[in-house]
């Protein structure tokens, strides 16, 4: 089953995926958690004060000692800027399944960073943690997130009506995506063979 290693630092071409620290509070607040455009796609409302972000970070940082806790900040290698976060959660010991979610600050949307981070976390989950299946969901009015999931090898499995209610008391339909460990192996074999041709 699962082989937990906690929040191990990961790298991609342009990103370092690392543990968050309390000193990241201002960047996190300014770059995505206080932004309504981001909170519209999350269940929790936009933060109104940096103290909310500090409280969230205290909770996150307090869990890094647990090997089952996997929560990364996305940091640009080139500038050292923290631009988003990504996490694996809801580990089900019986099935070997879990879920993934991510947020990126609007200044870095449509630049491929979320895809880059998700691909690396998916790789880590399957290759290192021995996860069987990873699921994710996005509001149907946020199709860009679905493109990130597709580019990471996930498949859409359906739509759940009124799956969430956001901070504005609006119900949102969500598209559900998933990728199995076998899908991942096949997807990468196909991608590599196409890249070689």
Q: Is residue 2 part of a domain?
A: no
Q: Is residue 5 part of a domain?
A: no
Q: What token pair was written down for 92?
A: 């089900």
Rounded to an integer, what distance in angstroms lies between the CA atom of residue 125 and that of residue 121? 6
Indicate the DSSP class of residue 9: -
Long-range contacts of 157-165 (CB under 8 A, 24+ apart): 163/137, 164/43, 164/139, 165/43
Q: Is residue 190 part of a domain?
A: yes
| Res. 185: pLDDT tops 90 | no
Lowest mean pLDDT among 8-17, 50-59, 160-169: 160-169
Q: Is residue 17 part of a domain?
A: yes
CATH code at 107? Answer: 3.40.630.30
Q: Is residue 151 part of a domain?
A: yes
Rounded to an integer, what distance in angstroms lies between the CA atom of residue 173 and that of residue 139? 6
Mean pLDDT (whole number) for 100-117: 96
Q: Is residue 63 part of a domain?
A: yes
The pLDDT tens digits of the residues spanning 24-79 come to: 999 999 999 999 888 877 778 889 999 999 999 999 999 999 999 999 999 999 99
Whole domain around residue 48: which residue ranges? 10-196
Handedness of CA 28, 30, 34, 37 (dihedral sign): negative
Q: What token pair was written down for 14?
A: 């342009």
Number of domains in the chain: 1
User: Cα angle vertex 73, ends 67, 77, to 5°?
Assistant: 125
H or E element that contains 74: strand 70-76
- pLDDT score, position 195: 57
The pLDDT tens digits of the residues spanning 96-106 come to: 999 999 999 99
Confidence of residue 196 (pLDDT cuts 50, 70, 90): very low
Q: Is residue 3 part of a domain?
A: no
- pLDDT score, position 187: 74
Q: Is residue 176 part of a domain?
A: yes
Q: Is 112 left (phi over 0), alpha (psi -120 to 50) or beta?
A: left
- pLDDT score, position 84: 98
């Amino acid at each position: 089953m699962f082989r937990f290693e906690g929040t191990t630092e990961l790298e991609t071409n342009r990103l370092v995926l690392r543990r968050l620290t309390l000193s990241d509070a201002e960047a996190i607040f300014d770059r995505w958690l206080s932004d309504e455009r981001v909170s519209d796609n999350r269940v929790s409302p936009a933060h109104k004060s940096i103290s909310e972000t500090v409280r969230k970070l205290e909770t996150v940082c307090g869990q890094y000692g647990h090997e089952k806790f996997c929560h990364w900040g996305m940091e640009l290698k080139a500038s050292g800027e923290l631009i988003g976060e990504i996490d694996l959660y809801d580990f089900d010991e019986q099935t070997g399944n879990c879920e993934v979610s991510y947020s990126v600050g609007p200044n870095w949307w449509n630049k491929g960073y979320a895809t880059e981070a998700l691909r690396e976390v998916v790789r880590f989950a399957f290759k290192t943690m021995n996860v069987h299946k990873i699921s994710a969901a996005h509001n149907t009015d946020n199709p860009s997130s679905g493109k990130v999931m597709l580019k990471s090898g996930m498949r859409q499995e359906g739509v759940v009506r009124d799956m969430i209610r956001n901070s504005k008391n609006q119900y949102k339909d969500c598209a559900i995506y998933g990728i199995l460990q076998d899908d991942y192996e096949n997807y990468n074999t196909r991608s590599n063979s196409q890249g070689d041709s």
